[in-house]
Amino acid sequence: MNTERVFTAFNKEGKEILLYVKDKDTYIDLLSNNNEIYNKDNIDLTSLKPISNSLDLRKYMLRYSIKNKYKKDREKLIETNNYLLGLKVIVSDYQKWYTGDNIFEMEKHHRWQENPKEYDLYRFIKKEEISFDTTLNIYKNLSKEDFFGYEENNEPEKLYHMDNFGNGKEYIITKSNYDLSKMTKKAYLDKKTINEIGYKLRKKII
């Protein structure tokens, strides 16, 4: 079986499914016992992702091997406190201005609007570091990491405006004290269940 035709997706009930896409109208349920055709109307087609996004597979493999590797991966237990609830926002209407009597006393001010896009779960890579899939945590970057100018009393002046900060850029806002363990009241969950929780959060109307 050509693994390039194998995809994960979610059905309309929010369950993760494993499909072989034979053509645009034929989706085979690889988790069934008899290569059953999955009802296309019960698939969220926008959620289709190549299996290669989450599993390392050879280009051609037996259906049985693909199914077993998928199940083994999704049955892994993961600590729920490794995941934070995050809200993705898009910045708009960014404005900046300066006040002060002269160039040596100028103070920078800024404001912007945060337009919420979707909720999701974000995984800790290591202590105090979170995976955002190329997005940035706006508050982390504005308040802790970026500095400019001179040092006074060995304390660098904080940079409150980033050069790459602007309208249309996506950021993540998280609550560090609200992780998946507090949401579910469980210390461990299998990876498939965590994926399904993340999917339902992304579908949540803001």
Question: What is d(CA 26, CA 38) in angstroms, rounded to the nearest whole number?
Answer: 8
Which H or E run includes 170? strand 170-179
- pLDDT tens track for 143-192: 333 323 333 333 323 323 445 566 777 777 776 677 899 999 999 999 99
* Number of CB atoms found within 10 A of residue 82's CB: 16
Question: What is d(CA 3, CA 26) in angstroms, rounded to the nearest whole number?
Answer: 16
Question: What is d(CA 183, CA 193) in angstroms, rounded to the nearest whole number?
Answer: 13
8 A C-beta contact, residue 36 and residue 49: no
8 A C-beta contact, residue 93 and residue 112: yes
- pLDDT tens track for 93-143: 877 788 988 878 888 777 777 788 888 887 765 544 444 432 334 444 433
Question: What is d(CA 178, CA 184) in angstroms, rounded to the nearest whole number?
Answer: 11
